Amino acid sequence: MLTPPSQHGIKLAVNLISAYFGDIVAKVCECLLRKGTLPLAQIIHFTELSKQNAVNSLLVLIQHNCVQAFATQSEGRFGGAPRISTQYMALFHNIIHHMRFPKFIAIVNEELGKECEEIFVWLLQDGRLSVNDIVERQKEPSRNSTASDALHECFRKLVNAQYVERCPAHEPFLAPPTEEETAAKKRAAKFTKTVEDTIEARALAEASPMDSVRFLLETDTWTDDPEQKSNDNSSNLASAGEKRKLDALESETKLWATNQKKEVLWRVNFEEFVRRLRHKSCIENVRARLDSGAATVLGAVLEATRRTETKVKVESSVPLSIDDIMQEVIKSEEGRTMNSDRVRASLAQLGCDMPSITGIDETYSIDLKKILELAQIREVESIVLKRYGKEASRIFKLLLQADRVVETEMISKDTFVDKKDAAKILHRMWKDDYLHLQVMEKDKGKQKYLLWAVKKPVLWQHILDDMYHAALNLRLRSAFEQEKDKEIAQLPREKREGELGKRFDRWMKIRLVLESSLMKLDDAILLFNDF
């Protein structure tokens, strides 16, 4: 999760921040993405911005869940008292999620309805809101009046579905490890190969609310009593922005999990949406690779175990008995035509040949990691086929299946590709970083053999960076087309006739093609980066 983003990933993230919040905020964001976690003084130094502009930009990024602050302790100079400093870290994945807002909105609309969608959109727009902020937003003259009880019920549905969560701690303090903890880590390092947690990972873990309160909705935090509301609307994040900026200048920053009235602030739970998209991707890939019956069974298993998953990236589904699976399968229209034998056959297709017996129940667990790995391989094979042709696709599949180094002549024989043509294809793919080359010498260097292999982790990262690059190009092209034809886009309906009508239709087609291409590309980015 906290691996450094690639160069094109950083450029895409900066482009998204620039489009949403402007170039000054994007400059601070780029500094944190490229330089890593920094204190305010170094951010000002690297960006050459004024202190006020730097702080204001950080507040915007924190408000929209793109930056997390945390406090650390360091030794004082010349034997003085320990110093507490505030550090800022960019949340790359949260920034990229801005590109997926339409997908998140569609999920909420489909599952919870239009009223819940409206509240959800406010949270996407403002980043963090309290329940009373939402009530105030609904009372604006430009909006249709909705009863407070109905509004609270919609918000409760969002929380119960875990689409909304409490904001993390505003500025967690990371205490330096004790001597006992340091010694224990050194002893453990001798026997294990686990990588020590980074300070950024520790900060995120410390900031995250406990599971017991993460989705806890306290009804006494709601109120419509005007006497309990501040006259200056201090609970409204937008109207209180200037005061908070001034407060921030006094002590570097005021990052909060509650607002000035100590009301709980809420934000969108990106993790739950990534999980839902991950499940959808698994189901659709199984449908394409196997059949609709296997996809129906997988969907039923994932729906039955969704609440019991504790992480987005789980390798296998939670074990379920055959009776529980059948109960979930028959809830869908497709599943009502399936009997227990058909369900067992579908489970076998999904890799559950040998059920485990727990007591008197037979239980099944589906290997989700394998499903996603096969989907990644299909995606890469499709890219190789389009980019290098059929012969290259056969060579690439051979090397993937071999999972070891293979000599050029052997590749030529096994793929029925002429040796000279195979050598040209292999060198072309190697230059594009799709293959790994190893040269082996014999007879004191008189004979040389070229050995080829696919290094999946390295190749997957390379392909992901290419996807970021393509997504950035699509966004830049979309922005160019909108700027070029902005007058056409603003034409009233009655004037869309003749030549102007043709130009408007062309603009709409280009826009739809670019947006749909970007959404499909993002599906692939999710597959390689988030799932």
Q: In CATH, what number is assigned to the domain containing residue 27?
A: 1.10.10.10
Domain-located, residue 150: no
User: Which residues are within 8 A (CB) of 490 and not within 5 positions of it... i.e. 6 or more apart?
Assistant: none
Structural domain span for residue 431: 372-454
pLDDT at 238: 37
CA angle, 311 then 107 then 307, to 5°: 30
Cα separations in angstroms, 172 against 69, 71, 220, 264, 288:
8, 6, 26, 17, 46
Together in a domain, 497 and 351: no
Q: Which residues of the chain have pLDDT under 50?
A: 1, 191-196, 220, 224-256
Planar angle of CA 382, 387, 388, nearest 5 degrees: 100
Closest among 306, 350, 346 to 326, alpha carbons compared: 346
Regarding whether 476 and 449 lie in a shared domain, the answer is no
Angle formed by the axes of helices 408-415 and 390-402, to 10°? 120
Same domain, 474 and 524: yes
Say which residues have a Cβ less than 8 Å from residue 232's Cβ, sequence separation at least 6: 239, 240
Rounded to the nearest integer, the mean pLDDT of the chain is 84
pLDDT at 136: 85
Asked whether residue 508 is domain-assigned, the answer is yes
Name the nearest CA neighbour of 170 among 103, 264, 106, 35: 264
What are the helix (H) ranges across 309-418? Answer: 322-329, 340-349, 368-388, 390-402, 408-415
Q: What pairs with residue 449 in β-bridges?
A: 440
Tell me the longest C-alpha to C-alpha distance in the chain.
92
Q: What is the CA radius of gyration of the chain?
A: 27
DSSP code of residue 474 = H
The reply to whether 68 and 191 lie within a common domain is: yes
Asked if 132 and 148 touch (Cβ cutoff 8 Å), the reply is no
Give residue 442's pLDDT.
73
- Residue 382 to residue 400: CA distance in whole angstroms: 13
Q: Say if residue 304 is in the same domain as residue 408.
A: no
Let me know the angle formed at the C-alpha of 116 by 314 and 231, rounded to the nearest 5 degrees: 115
Regarding whether 526 and 407 lie in a shared domain, the answer is: no
**What is the tally of helices (H) and strands (E) in the chain?**
24, 12
Residue 313: the pLDDT is: 62
